[in-house]
Amino acid sequence: MSIQTLKQAVRNIPDFPIAGIQFKDITTLFQSPEHLQELSDVLYEAYKNKGITKVVGIESRGFFMGPALALRLNAGFIPIRKPGKLPHITIEESYEKEYGVDTIQIHEDSLSPDDVVLIHDDLLATGGTMIAAYNLVKKLGVKKIYINFLIELEELNGRQYFPKDVEVDSVLKFDI
């Protein structure tokens, strides 16, 4: 199997969730055990020697591969969720999306200064959600942060908003 095979398995949904958006549907990748295994292997190989102690997944698509990757890396999994979903004391960050403003939260005691963190989500478009997640993790004072996406829409240039010293990687890259 190859990256090209994985790319071909992603389904395009025009005008979702609003007109003009070409949605990349990754559920097709999870329907095939071969595709799912390939994704898991690619992610593991990329991060197995980075000393990751926690994988942080962003609600909700960061919950698909995040826990599986955490298991393979022998790391913990930390969810970032929308307000009102986490039961303990949280910190939050608001950000602008392509079509509105949103807020995400993380438990204030979920990470420590010794943690090496991989923040994982499904898609890098304009970068708003991940920048907010990065800011939350950074506030908790971790040792190092890596960022990963399953898909990157390169023409939107979301990568430009991340600090130069943060390694940002994507498994699959698409033009819009």
Pairing of strands 11-14, 22-25: antiparallel
Active-site annotation holds for 98: yes
The strand order across the sheet containing 76-80 reads 76-80, 54-58, 116-124, 144-153, 167-174
CA dist list (Å): 47 to 6, 14, 41: 19, 33, 10
Among candidate residues 34, 96, 98, 154, the one labeled active-site is 98
Active-site annotation holds for 59: no
- Contacts of residue 38, defined as CB under 8 A and 6 or more positions apart, other chains included, come to 1, 5, 6
Among candidate residues 61, 81, 93, 152, the one labeled active-site is 61
Q: How does 121-158 read in b/e, with b if 16+ C-beta sit within 10 Å?
A: bbbbbbbbbbbbbbebbeebebeebbbbbbbbbeebeb
Give the residue from 48, 9, 24 showing the smallest Cα distance to 148: 48
Q: Which residues are catalytic?
A: 61, 98
